[in-house]
Amino acid sequence: MSIARSSRFTTKGTSRVRVMMLRRKNPGGQKKSFDGTGEPLYLGIDFGTSGARYALVDKQGAIHSEGKRTYPPVGRVTNWASSWREALFHLLGDIPAIYRPSISSISIDGTSATTFIIDRNNGGILAGPYLYNESFADALPAVESIAPANHTVCSGSSTLCKLVSWWNSSSAGLSSRDSAILMHQSDWLLWLLHGEYGVSDYNNTLKHPELQLAQSRRMYAHRFPKNCVVCTGTTDSIAAFLAARTTEPGKAVTSLGSTLAIKLLSNARVDDARFGVYSHRLDDMWLVGGASNTGGAVLRQLFTDDQLVALSHEIDPSVPSLLDYYPLPKRGERFPVSDPNMMPRLQPRPESDTAYLHGILESIARIEAKGYNLLKELGASMVEEVLTAGGGARNDKWTAIRGRVLGVPVRKAEQTEAAYGAALLALKGANTMH
**What is the model's pLDDT at position 362?**
97
Question: Nearest CA to 287 among 261, 308, 309, 256?
Answer: 261
For 12, the enclosing helix (H) or strand (E) is none
Higher confidence at residue 147 or residue 320? 320
pLDDT digits (tens, 9 = 90+) for 189-230: 988 888 877 676 666 665 544 444 333 334 444 454 544 334
CA angle 50/86/332 to nearest 5° reads: 25
DSSP string, 53-120: EEEEE-TT--EEEEEEEEPPPPSSS--HHHHHHHHHHHHHHHS-TTTGGGEEEEEEEE-TT-EEEEET
**What is the model's pLDDT at position 33?**
45
Model confidence at 174, in pLDDT bands (50, 70, 90)?
Answer: low
In order of start, what are the domains of the chain with their CATH numbers? 39-71+78-237+420-432 (3.30.420.40), 246-413 (3.30.420.40)
* Contact of 432 with 229, CB cutoff 8 Å: yes
Give the C-alpha distances (Å, rounded to integers) separating 221 from 28, 156, 176, 209, 226. 45, 19, 16, 10, 11
Q: What is the mean pLDDT of residues 223-245?
A: 66
Q: Which residues pair with 280 in a beta bridge?
A: 287
pLDDT digits (tens, 9 = 90+) for 286-339: 999 888 889 999 999 999 999 999 999 999 999 999 999 999 876 556 554 445
Q: What is the mean pLDDT of residues 60-81?
A: 88
pLDDT over threshold 70, residue 57: yes
Name the average pLDDT for the chain. Answer: 80
Q: What is the mean pLDDT of residues 351-373?
A: 96
* Contact of 157 with 139, CB cutoff 8 Å: no
**What is the model's pLDDT at position 206?**
55
Lowest-confidence segment of 68-82, 143-157, 205-219, 238-252 by average pLDDT: 205-219
pLDDT over threshold 60, residue 241: yes
Model confidence at 414, in pLDDT bands (50, 70, 90)?
Answer: confident
Share of the chain above pLDDT 70, in %: 77
Please name the residues in contact with 208: beta carbons below 8 A apart, sequence gap of 6 or more. Answer: 153, 159, 160, 224
pLDDT over threshold 60, residue 280: yes
The pTM for the full model equals 0.72
Phi/psi of residue 406, each to 5°?
A: -75, -25
